[in-house]
Amino acid sequence: MNEMTEKEFYDSIPNMHTRREYRNGLQRFSAWFGKTADEILEMRKADLKSEDTFARKRFERELEKFHAYLKAPKPQGEGAASNSAKTLCSGLRQFFRTYEVPLTLRRGSPIGKSQITDKTFPLTIEDVRRMFNVADMKQRVILSMAKDLGLRIGDFVRIKKADLPDLNQEPPIAFDVTTHKEGVLAKCHLSAETVELLKTYLPMLANNPNPYLFPSNSEGFLKEDTIGWNLKQLAEKAGLTIPSGKRLTFHAFRKLFISTGKNLNIDPDTVKALCGKGVAQDIMTYMTGVQWRKAFSQIADALKIQGFTAKNHIKLEEQEEQIKKMSNQIALLLQVVEMQQKRLEELDPKEKGKMAEISKVIFRAKTWKNETP
């Protein structure tokens, strides 16, 4: 395979992490098989021209041998875990698929089997709040949008400023995103607190010609590794304890969103659609009447970071201002009542009984005023 063809193959893979995995897998297979990627591709094309079914299936068999070698204990093999071996085999499979000579694994092939593992740190909204408290403005927007959208990182970093909806609408605001990996239309929303953060953050980008919401130093978007580095730095500053064998990755926000929806007993297909996870087409066709905003509001209320809710997005500061206004109004009322008290003192003693009741009212009002923050 010439250098340009190899570059085109890797360039066809938008996700940087996936591209790295495919490159590693293809190069490892090439070294094990003893042929260059170019020679392997030509052999595959020649095999498919054969009328011999056994010959046509050569690389399906070779890939299974490679998979067995990866899992075999050292020194006979590499001692790789089942999931690692499966991932390494995906390099050749995707390489052939790109050049339209795909492999067809037999039913029950060990390559298709994997073990359920969970190395992702189980992020909670309390953890997000602690990270938020030590974050700068850009990091705060990332944290708030990440828990709102539940998108894959590859879709998240590609959001452009022009993609955002009108932020002057009543939150939560619908925000449709077409996912890059599967072409799924995610029925995303922005919570009230995210909207407020964006209104502060966007003016900071006013003079930046880069179209992306989270721009890099060049013309592109912020790299996925940079997002991951920011999360690790925030976790460290916030004093989060990441257990051995666990990793805090951006994917933790997607898991947080989905698990929260499940804990709230929201329809699983609705939760999937809200964060861009594939829903069977025959089911999605019938989801025209789903109350997306209502479903998201339930999740947003459970995942709020600051003093916002989806039902009432008044800031705590605004609530305190309202209390101050009420206190001032009561102060004016007290002045009126005290004037009436003086007038009553001039009345006949028979009316004195009324003064006692009024005094009680004044006392309660003054007490409330003094206790009001």
Backbone angles phi, psi at 54, to 5 degrees: -65, -40
Parallel/antiparallel/unpaired status of strands 173-178 and 185-190: antiparallel
Residue among 264, 367, 304 nearest 171 (CA): 304
**pLDDT band with cut points at 50, 70 and 90 for residue 190:** very high
Which of 41-50, 170-179, 314-323 has the lowest average pLDDT? Answer: 314-323
pLDDT at residue 17, rounded to an integer: 78
Question: What are the angstrom distances between the C-alpha of 328 and each of 39, 336, 361?
Answer: 84, 13, 17
Q: How far apart are CA 172 and CA 167, in angstroms?
A: 10
Mean pLDDT of 327-355: 68
pLDDT at 326 over 50: yes
pTM above 0.85, yes or no: no
H or E segment to which residue 173 belongs: strand 173-178
For residues 194 and 148, the answer to whether their CB atoms sit within 8 Å is: yes
pLDDT at residue 336, rounded to an integer: 73
pLDDT at residue 343, rounded to an integer: 67
Exposure b/e, 254-265, CB count within 10 A at least 16 = b = bbbbbebbeeee
| β-sheet bridge partners, residue 174 | 189
pLDDT at 187 over 80: yes
Q: How far apart are CA 302 and CA 166, in angstroms?
A: 24
Q: How far apart are CA 317 and CA 373, in angstroms?
A: 12
pLDDT at residue 314, rounded to an integer: 43
Which of 3-12, 29-38, 130-139, 278-287 has the lowest average pLDDT? Answer: 3-12
Mean pLDDT of 352-370: 61
Cis before 172? omega within 30? yes
pLDDT at residue 103, rounded to an integer: 95
pLDDT at residue 114, rounded to an integer: 67
Which residues, at least 6 apart from 249, have a Cβ–Cβ distance to it below 8 Å? 120, 121, 228, 231
Mean per-residue pLDDT over the chain, rounded: 86
Q: Is 309 left (phi over 0), alpha (psi -120 to 50) or beta?
A: beta
pLDDT digits (tens, 9 = 90+) for 199-242: 999 999 999 999 999 999 877 999 989 999 999 999 999 999 99
3-state secondary structure of 53: helix
Backbone angles phi, psi at 285, to 5 degrees: -60, -30
pLDDT at 369 over 70: no
pLDDT at 176 over 70: yes
Task: Determine the residue type at 280.
Answer: A
pLDDT at residue 60, rounded to an integer: 96
pLDDT at residue 5, rounded to an integer: 74
pLDDT at 367 over 80: no
pLDDT at 372 over 60: no
Q: How far apart are CA 307 and CA 288, in angstroms?
A: 33
Q: How far apart are CA 143 and CA 311, in angstroms?
A: 21
Residue among 24, 30, 25 nearest 43 (CA): 30
Q: Is 143 exposed, middle or buried (0-12, 13-18, 19+ CB in 10 A)?
A: buried
Residue among 300, 286, 330 nearest 144 (CA): 300
Q: How far apart are CA 88 and CA 92, in angstroms?
A: 8
Q: Using CA of residue 40, residue 45, residue 50, residue 56, what is the dihedral sign?
A: positive
Q: Using CA of residue 111, residue 112, residue 117, residue 120, what is the dihedral sign?
A: positive
pLDDT at residue 209, rounded to an integer: 93
Mean pLDDT of 64-91: 92
| β-sheet bridge partners, residue 176 | 187
Contacts of range 29-36, beta carbons closer than 8 Å, 24 or more positions apart: 29/63, 29/66, 29/88, 29/89, 29/91, 29/92, 32/66, 32/69, 33/62, 33/66, 36/1
**pLDDT band with cut points at 50, 70 and 90 for residue 43:** very high
Which of 119-128, 226-235, 330-339 has the lowest average pLDDT? Answer: 330-339
Longest distance between any two alpha carbons in the chain, whole Å: 121
pLDDT at residue 171, rounded to an integer: 94
pLDDT digits (tens, 9 = 90+) for 265-319: 999 999 999 999 988 888 888 888 899 999 999 999 999 998 654 444 444 455 5
Residue 69 vs residue 340, higher pLDDT: 69
pLDDT at 244 over 90: no
pLDDT at residue 368, rounded to an integer: 60
Residue 44: count of CB within 10 angstroms of its CB: 19
CB hemisphere CA count around 275 (13 angstroms): 27
